Chains A and B, each alone.
Chain A
Amino acid sequence: MAQSSLDVLLKGSSGKSTRGLLRIIILLTIAAAAVASRLFSVIRFESIIHEFDPWFNFRATKYLVQNGFYSFWDWFDDRMLPPSQCLRVVRSPRYHRAALIQFLPHLGTWHPLGRVTGGTLYPGLMVTSGVIYHILRLLTIPVDIRNVCVLLAPGFSGLTALAMYLLTREMSHSPSAGLLAAAFMGITPGYISRSVAGSYDNEAIAIFLLVFTFFLWIKAVKNGSIMWGALTALFYGYMVSAWGGYVFITNLIPLHVFVLLCMGRYSSRLYISYTTCDHMSALGVFGLIQLVAFAEFVRAYLPGKQFQKLLTSMVLLTFGLGFTGLVLLSVSGVIAPWSGRFYSLWDTGYAKIHIPIIASVSEHQPTAWPAFFFDLNFLIWLFPAGVFMCFQNLKDEHVFVIIYAVLSSYFAGVMVRLMLTLTPIVCVAAALALSTIFDSFLVMTKPTPESKEKANADKSKAFSSTKKPVVGIYSYFSKAIVTGSLTIYLLMFVAHCTWVTSNAYSSPSVVLASRLPDGSQHIIDDYREAYYWLRQNTEDNAKIMSWWDYGYQIGGMADRPTLVDNNTWNNTHIATVGKAMSSREEVSYPILRQHDVDYVLVVFGGLSSGIWPDEIKERDFFTARGEYRVDEEATPTMKNSLMYKMSYYNYNSLFPAGQAVDRVRGVKLPAESPTLNTLEEAFTSENWIIRIFKVKDLDNFGRDHSNAVSFDKDLKRKRATKKKGPRVLRTE
Chain B
Amino acid sequence: MRFFTATVLGLLTSSLAAATNLTSPSRLALPADFKPQQVFKNTNLVRNTNLEKGYVRETINVVVENIDKQAQTDYYIPFPSDVFERVGGFEVRDKKATDKGRFVVDATEAVSTSGNQYFIVHLPEPLAPKSQITLGISYSVLNSLSPRPATIGQSDKQYLHYAFSAYVPSAYQTITQKTKVKFPSTDVPDYTTTSDLKSGADPERKGATYTYGPYDTAKVVPGTEYPIAVRYEFTNPVVTVHLLERDLEVSHWGGNLATEDRYWLRNNGSELTSQFSRVDWTFANYQRAPTSAVREITYPLKPGSVDPYFIDDIGNVSTSRYRPGNGKTAGNLELKPRYPIFGGWNYSFKVGWNNDLAAFLRETAKPDSWVLKVPFIQGPKASEGVQYERVVVRVVLPEGAHNVRFQTAEGSSSNGLPGANQIHASLSSFKTFMDTLGRTTLTLEVDGLTDEARDAELIVTYDYTLMDALRKPLTLFGGLLSVFIALWAISNIDVSIKKR
A residues 678-706 in Cβ contact with B at 8 Å:
680-686, 688, 694
Q: Does B315 contact A (CB under 8 A)?
A: yes
In the bound complex, CA of A457 to CA of B348 (Å): 82
Q: Does A654 contact B (CB under 8 A)?
A: yes
Count of A-B residue pairs with CB < 8 Å: 73
Q: Does B434 contact A (CB under 8 A)?
A: yes
| Interface 1/0 per residue, A529-554 and B, CB below 8 Å | 10111011100000000000000000
| Interface 1/0 per residue, B343-370 and A, CB below 8 Å | 0111110000000000000000000000
Cross-chain contact A535 with B313 (CB below 8 angstroms): yes
Cross-chain contact B432 with A683 (CB below 8 angstroms): no
Distance from B291 Cβ to chain A, minimum over Cβ atoms (Å): 16
Of B279, B312, B433, which one neighbours A140 at CB under 8 angstroms? B433
Of all chain A residues, the one with the shortest Cβ separation from B275 is A682
Residues of A within 8 A of B313 (CB): 532, 535
Of all chain A residues, the one with the shortest Cβ separation from B436 is A140
Of B278, B312, B344, which one neighbours A688 at CB under 8 angstroms? B278
Cross-chain contact B346 with A525 (CB below 8 angstroms): no
Distance from A687 Cβ to chain B, minimum over Cβ atoms (Å): 10
Cross-chain contact A140 with B434 (CB below 8 angstroms): yes
Of A139, A531, A682, which one neighbours B314 at CB under 8 angstroms? A531
Cross-chain contact A141 with B433 (CB below 8 angstroms): yes
Cross-chain contact A525 with B278 (CB below 8 angstroms): no
Residues of A within 8 A of B282 (CB): 654
Distance from B34 Cβ to chain A, minimum over Cβ atoms (Å): 44
In the bound complex, CA of A285 to CA of B497 (Å): 30
Q: Does A303 contact B (CB under 8 A)?
A: no
In the bound complex, CA of A46 to CA of B310 (Å): 12
Cross-chain contact B319 with A532 (CB below 8 angstroms): no
From DSSP, what is the main secondary structure of chain A's interface residues? mixed
- With A531-B314, A683-B276 already in contact, the answer to whether A142 and B433 are too (CB < 8 A) is yes
Residues of A within 8 A of B188 (CB): none
In the bound complex, CA of A82 to CA of B463 (Å): 42
Of all chain B residues, the one with the shortest Cβ separation from A48 is B315
Distance from A449 Cβ to chain B, minimum over Cβ atoms (Å): 44
Q: Does B435 contact A (CB under 8 A)?
A: yes
In the bound complex, CA of A682 to CA of B312 (Å): 22
Q: Does B157 contact A (CB under 8 A)?
A: no
Of B278, B317, B319, B345, which one neighbours A536 at CB under 8 angstroms? B345
Cross-chain contact A532 with B312 (CB below 8 angstroms): yes
Cross-chain contact A532 with B433 (CB below 8 angstroms): no
Cross-chain contact A536 with B276 (CB below 8 angstroms): no
Cross-chain contact B434 with A682 (CB below 8 angstroms): no
The listed residue with most A CB atoms (<10 A of its CB), out of B279, B344, B433, is B279
Q: Does A456 contact B (CB under 8 A)?
A: no
Distance from A48 Cβ to chain B, minimum over Cβ atoms (Å): 5
Number of interface residues of B (CB under 8 A): 27
Please tell me the size bucket of the interface on A: 20 to 34
Cross-chain contact B339 with A683 (CB below 8 angstroms): yes
Distance from A708 Cβ to chain B, minimum over Cβ atoms (Å): 14
Cross-chain contact B275 with A140 (CB below 8 angstroms): no
In the bound complex, CA of A532 to CA of B339 (Å): 9
Residues of A within 8 A of B318 (CB): 511, 523, 525
In the bound complex, CA of A142 to CA of B277 (Å): 42
Residues of A within 8 A of B274 (CB): 680
Residues of A within 8 A of B432 (CB): 140-142
In the bound complex, CA of A680 to CA of B314 (Å): 27
Residues of A within 8 A of B275 (CB): 680-683, 694
Q: Does A659 contact B (CB under 8 A)?
A: no
Q: Does A653 contact B (CB under 8 A)?
A: yes
In the bound complex, CA of A48 to CA of B311 (Å): 12
Q: Does B198 contact A (CB under 8 A)?
A: no
Distance from B444 Cβ to chain A, minimum over Cβ atoms (Å): 22
Q: Does B35 contact A (CB under 8 A)?
A: no
Distance from B461 Cβ to chain A, minimum over Cβ atoms (Å): 26
Distance from B343 Cβ to chain A, minimum over Cβ atoms (Å): 11
Cross-chain contact A529 with B277 (CB below 8 angstroms): no
Residues of B within 8 A of A46 (CB): 315-316
In the bound complex, CA of A694 to CA of B277 (Å): 12
In the bound complex, CA of A682 to CA of B274 (Å): 9
Distance from A672 Cβ to chain B, minimum over Cβ atoms (Å): 15
Residues of A within 8 A of B435 (CB): 140
In the bound complex, CA of A628 to CA of B315 (Å): 36
In the complex, the 5 A-B pairs of residues with the closest C-beta atoms, listed nearest first: A684-B278, A523-B318, A46-B316, A536-B346, A529-B338
| CB<8 Å pairs between A and B, sample of 15 | A46-B315, A48-B315, A140-B431, A141-B434, A142-B433, A525-B319, A529-B338, A532-B338, A535-B314, A536-B346, A680-B274, A680-B275, A681-B278, A684-B278, A685-B339
In the complex, besides A45-B316, A537-B344, 6 extra interface pairs with C-beta distance below 8 angstroms are: A535-B314, A536-B346, A536-B347, A653-B279, A654-B279, A681-B277
